[in-house]
Amino acid sequence: MALTIQSAQNIFSNTQVPSPIPATIALFDQLGVDDQLAYLWYAYTEMGKTITPAAPGAARLQLAESLLNQIKKMSPEEQTQVMRDLANRADAPISRSYGFFSVNTKLAFWYELGELMKQGVVAPIPSGYQMTPGVQVVLDATKKLDPGQQITVLRNTVVNMGFDTSDLGPSSYPKAVEEPAFARTAPSISSVKIDGVTEPAVLSYIEAMNADNFDKAISLFTPEGALQPPFQKPIVGHEAIAKYMREEAQGLNMMPKQGICEDQPDGSKQLKITGVVQTPWFGVTVGMNIAWRFLINPEGKIFFVAIDMLASPEELLNLRRV
Ligand code: 45D
Structural domain includes residue 60: yes
Shared domain for 139 and 245, answered yes or no, is no
State the average pLDDT over residues 132-147. Answer: 96
Quote the pLDDT of residue 234: 98
Domain containing 257 — which CATH number? 3.10.450.50
CA distance 221 to 149: 29
Shared domain for 13 and 42, answered yes or no, is no
Shared domain for 147 and 208, answered yes or no, is no
Shared domain for 127 and 222, answered yes or no, is no
Is a pLDDT exceeding 70 seen at residue 258?
Answer: yes
Shared domain for 270 and 203, answered yes or no, is yes
Structural domain includes residue 178: no
Q: Cβ(123) to ligand 1 under 6 A? A: no
Shared domain for 95 and 209, answered yes or no, is no
* 112 contacts 64 by C-beta, under 8 angstroms: yes
Q: Cβ(86) to ligand 1 under 6 A? A: no
Q: Cβ(294) to ligand 1 under 6 A? A: no
Sign of the alpha-carbon torsion through 28, 89, 102, 76: negative
Structural domain includes residue 177: no
Question: pLDDT for 155-209, tens place per residue?
Answer: 999 999 999 988 787 777 777 788 898 877 666 666 799 999 999 999 999 999 9
- In terms of Cβ atoms closer than 10 Å to its own Cβ (0-12, 13-18, 19+), residue 58 is exposed
Query: Whole-number mean pLDDT of the chain?
Result: 94
- Name the percent of the chain lying above pLDDT 70: 97
Shared domain for 191 and 312, answered yes or no, is yes
Quote the pLDDT of residue 190: 66
**Considering only CA atoms, which residue is closest to atom 1 of ligand 1?**
41
Shared domain for 313 and 187, answered yes or no, is yes
The more confident residue out of 296 and 181 is 296
The CA 62 to ligand 1 mean position distance, Å, reads 19
- Which atom of ligand 1 lies nearest, measured to the CA of 309? 28
Structural domain includes residue 23: no
Tell me the C-alpha to C-alpha distance, in Å, between residue 218 and each of 94, 130, 160, 239, 242. Answer: 35, 50, 27, 9, 7
Per-residue pLDDT band for 1 (boundaries 50, 70, 90) equals: low
Structural domain includes residue 54: yes
Structural domain includes residue 26: no
Domain boundary among 125, 160, 195: 160
Domain boundary among 127, 160, 193: 160
Q: Cβ(155) to ligand 1 under 6 A? A: yes
**Considering only CA atoms, which residue is closest to atom 2 of ligand 1?**
307
**In total, how many domains does the chain have?**
2
State the average pLDDT over residues 75-95. Answer: 96
If one residue of 47, 84, 118, 154 were mutated to test the ligand 1 pocket, choosing by the most ligand atoms within 8 A of its CB, it would be 154
Domain containing 35 — which CATH number? 1.10.2090.10
Q: Cβ(229) to ligand 1 under 6 A? A: yes
Q: Cβ(64) to ligand 1 under 6 A? A: no
The CA 152 to ligand 1 mean position distance, Å, reads 5
- Name the percent of the chain lying above pLDDT 90: 86
Structural domain includes residue 322: no
Shared domain for 99 and 198, answered yes or no, is no
Q: Cβ(122) to ligand 1 under 6 A? A: no
Shared domain for 222 and 285, answered yes or no, is yes
Shared domain for 196 and 311, answered yes or no, is yes
Largest interatomic CA distance in the chain: 67
Whether ipTM exceeds 0.85: yes
Q: Cβ(208) to ligand 1 under 6 A? A: no
Structural domain includes residue 165: no
Shared domain for 194 and 142, answered yes or no, is no
Quote the pLDDT of residue 167: 78
Owning domain of residue 231: 5-18+183-317
The three-state (H, E, C) secondary structure of the chain, written as one string: CCCCHHHHHCCCHHHCCCCHHHHHHHHHHCCCHHHHHHHHHHHHHHHCCCCCCCCCCHHHHHHHHHHHHHHHCCCHHHHHHHHHHHHHCCCCHHHHHHHCCCHHHHHHHHHHHHHHHHCCCCCCCCCCCCCCHHHHHHHHHHHCCCHHHHHHHHHHHHHHCCCCHHHCCHHHCCCCCCCCCCCCCCCCCCCCCEECECCHHHHHHHHHHCCCCHHHHHHCEEEEEEEECCCCCCEECHHHHHHHHHHHCCCCEEEEEEEEEEECCCCCEEEEEEEEEECCCCHHHCCEEEEEEEEECCCCCEEEEEEEECCCHHHHHCCCCC
CA distance 200 to 202: 5
